[in-house]
Structure 1
């Protein structure tokens, strides 16, 4: 048994729960080849304090209060940017306006950045960080300990729009827009980074039929999700005129568990940190050799998702969420 446990993929989920964060966390906890060794929290869908409360609550719902939660940053890395909180997408409580009772658990004393650094040092090369919110905690970990980029296994980022319109404005996707300076630090850090943008996650859709399947499941996690989905559904209908929801966070969790479900390209990614296109992600695909020195010159490359088998990924997510 100990040998089987040691072969599991170790994950730390950096999260701002969030309805689709809840789905992603449950997918990870229901995946037999994954060991979630911690949650770190960040602002985004809600403020950081509420993100921590929601993370503790979701672990209680899942019966996994053994997993530590480390609270992350309450401000952007420059401390100068007003936070954009997407409570209009997920509800003022982040979980569909259900106003669940306060969890019994408490976060650990360590900050998210310290927890990330120490766990990566403890298990060099073995940990995948799944970053579902703004990248402040990851950037702080890089600044705190430069060896973090070598000790961490992979960083899977939900972020960017890569040649499609953003979801905050035409230029930017929400996670990158919320702290573009941190995103640029992470993308140019030299760590093994895989970025999954909304150009790909918009291909993974949770349909009305999926919702009916969820409602028919006897899995208590599925029944819990049914309670919180209305707000998220209504937002998607109003914003995109679709009857369904995009599975951003769960799709990225599947990318962490099985990257072969996606196709990838590789290049240097830089982030616009100010102005009308703040949060814009630009991938240099290296198809042209520029004569001039640019802001992309000699920077480390990352992998960026290009396509996904959306039907297969959606089915795998549903299988995880409906299995008792």
Structure 2
């Protein structure tokens, strides 16, 4: 029996590793990409939208709608910095690629998310690759989004390891902690893929350079990852890159590659540890109510079959 393809909506801030994940998704028979929504993070939102159109052009999927999302955080704070030192000022490793043109969806990203989930109840997988601002606004517009999405797979968090913005926080949670804390308390089928597993998955420099001239996207991916490799060499002294966004895609495609733990999660919104994700894993019966009491359970990835995950993702990127 042929398995029905998942309808996949990707909320994204492309971004080198976003590009890897999105292009791999277009080479994945398990999913049908039905929309891209854009947000700040690796780049500013306007650049994220431009890059989304470029990825659709490369994939020859320009009929897929792109809805531009938030330019400020959930509480209205302007985005004052982006990770250009990781992804380049253009988000694509400063390779000076030609800009693609496209017509944005008529509404905002949150409205697109609400409409798409309403029209396809129980069928849409949302893959959130950036800060959760658009998802939070969508849930505020329509509280049924959480329960009517088939799943919401979130790239973000550092639960039992250090963060990557500072020792406490991972970048997407840090980018809009109020939005993250709100979304993770709304219920529904939420899965979180954080640094606990993405740091276990790596592409070597040899593997990334070896994408040159392979498949539809190999040359593009090999070129944009050169800058990304240099960042990892400078920051971690390694000739490889951590596989963040593509690992979150893998959790949509083949969730059995991951080990999941259920619990309630809070995201710190104000302290030296802003953006830190703290999970109650249920090891104690608490005597008094606290900030985690009555929060919805989410699933957090705590282990991964890294070899199978990276092999599968490289195959999809080079197909």
TM-score, normalization by structure 1: 0.96
Q: Extract unaligned runs of 5+ from structure 1.
A: none
1:41 aligns with 2:38: yes
| Distance in structure 2 (CA, Å) of the matches to 1:287 and 1:181 | 26
1:309 to partner: Cα distance: 0.6
Match of residue 87 from structure 2: 90
Q: Which among 277, 286, 291 is matched to residue 290 of structure 1?
A: 286
Change (3 A) 1:173 1:36: same
2:273 aligned counterpart, secondary structure: coil
1:9 to partner: Cα distance: 0.5
1:309 aligns with 2:300: no
Match of residue 179 from structure 2: 182
Contact preservation (8 Å) 1:84, 1:178:
no
Instruction: Give RMSD over aligned pairs.
Output: 1.3
Match of residue 271 from structure 2: 275
Contact preservation (8 Å) 1:125, 1:151:
yes
Contact preservation (8 Å) 1:157, 1:196:
yes
Contact preservation (8 Å) 2:40, 2:79:
no
Contact preservation (8 Å) 2:208, 2:221:
no
Change (3 A) 1:66 1:81: closer
Contact preservation (8 Å) 1:50, 1:93:
yes
1:295 aligned counterpart, secondary structure: coil
Contact preservation (8 Å) 1:207, 1:243:
yes
Q: Which among 245, 251, 255 is matched to residue 255 of structure 1?
A: 251
| Distance in structure 2 (CA, Å) of the matches to 1:70 and 1:53 | 11
TM-score, normalization by structure 2: 0.97
Contact preservation (8 Å) 1:207, 1:244:
yes
| Distance in structure 2 (CA, Å) of the matches to 1:253 and 1:315 | 13
Match of residue 208 from structure 1: 205
Q: Extract unaligned runs of 5+ from structure 2.
A: none
Stretches (4+) displaced over 3 A:
81-84
1:209 to partner: Cα distance: 3.0
Match of residue 151 from structure 2: 154
Count of residue pairs the alignment pairs up: 319
| Distance in structure 2 (CA, Å) of the matches to 1:18 and 1:212 | 18
**Cα deviation code 1:231-290 (max 9, x no counterpart):** 100000011111011110001101011110100000000010011010010000111011
